[in-house]
Structure 1
Amino acid sequence: MHVTQRLSDLPLEQGANMNVSRTVVHLTHIGSDVLRLLKEGADANTPISSGGSLLHLCARHDNVFAAELLIERGLNVNLQDEDLWTALHVACVCDHADVAVLLLLAGVNVLLQDVNGNIPLDYASEGTETSYILRKHLEENGNALATVFVHVASRKT
């Protein structure tokens, strides 16, 4: 397949394997294309080469529409890649607040740590919208806030 080939020209009806890592399904994180591929039988849970998912790509590219489609199809919002990053880690580092809100509403675990022991909030730059949203979420869910304070305190020692 040529890189310039249009998605509408892909031979999906001819049996193209949509579940191979880094194939068509992973390169098309645009909402309408994700919807079309899912309707045609693509498995949204097939990991990409980094071990992440289409949801990680949606978080990186701030594609809320496609992320919502994937979540509605049952994609695990807590799926971690090879560095143990969730889509929320990605949304935080990119300051994609709308994706972060969607993930929070879908029940993402805000306390999952990556290989370096960092939670998503650690990647949200101070003063950004994503930082505010995560802090507000933790404040409203007081039981988790104590855990975050312990996490932050342990990192300073």
Structure 2
Amino acid sequence: MSHAIADQPVVEFGHVEHVTVHFDELDAMGILHNARYAVLLERALTPYWAERGVSFTGGQLSAPDVFHAVREFTIRYRAPITGTGPVGVHFWLDHFGTSSARYAFEFRSVDGAIRYAEGTRSIVRLDPATMRPAPWTDAARAVAATLLRPATVPA
């Protein structure tokens, strides 16, 4: 089930998920705390993959691709998110390799007019027994193909 609160905007590539900023995520100035951006990105990515059969539900992995670790997270803040309510998270894949993937993302106002932040998040799929990199399944590759930024779209 999607956490969307409004019709999803049409984008050239990737996906936009609306997530909600809650009061307890704000700092003393009423601005979204910087550490919460990673959590909100996770809240945007999770329903996208879950709706396509890749989730962690009832204490169980629905697919081996759910077992992955974040290798790197970068973010550049452009404008503060002030107050509670919905925010749009536009995400896509810049890279989907044998065992790794790199998302790019933007946090925007729901109407898309304000860009609050942008960045990347790299992950590595792991084998649960060895904790070493493992290849993505064909099912994950099929979902990832829906998120890949076309080479014809400038970065």
* Greater length-normalized contact order (CA 8 Å, ≥ 6 residues apart): 2
Please say whether Structure 1 and Structure 2 have the same fold, judged by a TM-score greater than 0.5: no
Structure (1 or 2) with the greater strand fraction? 2
The TM-score range, normalised by the shorter chain, is: under 0.3
TM-score by length of 1: 0.24
With the length of structure 2 as denominator, give the TM-score of the two structures: 0.24
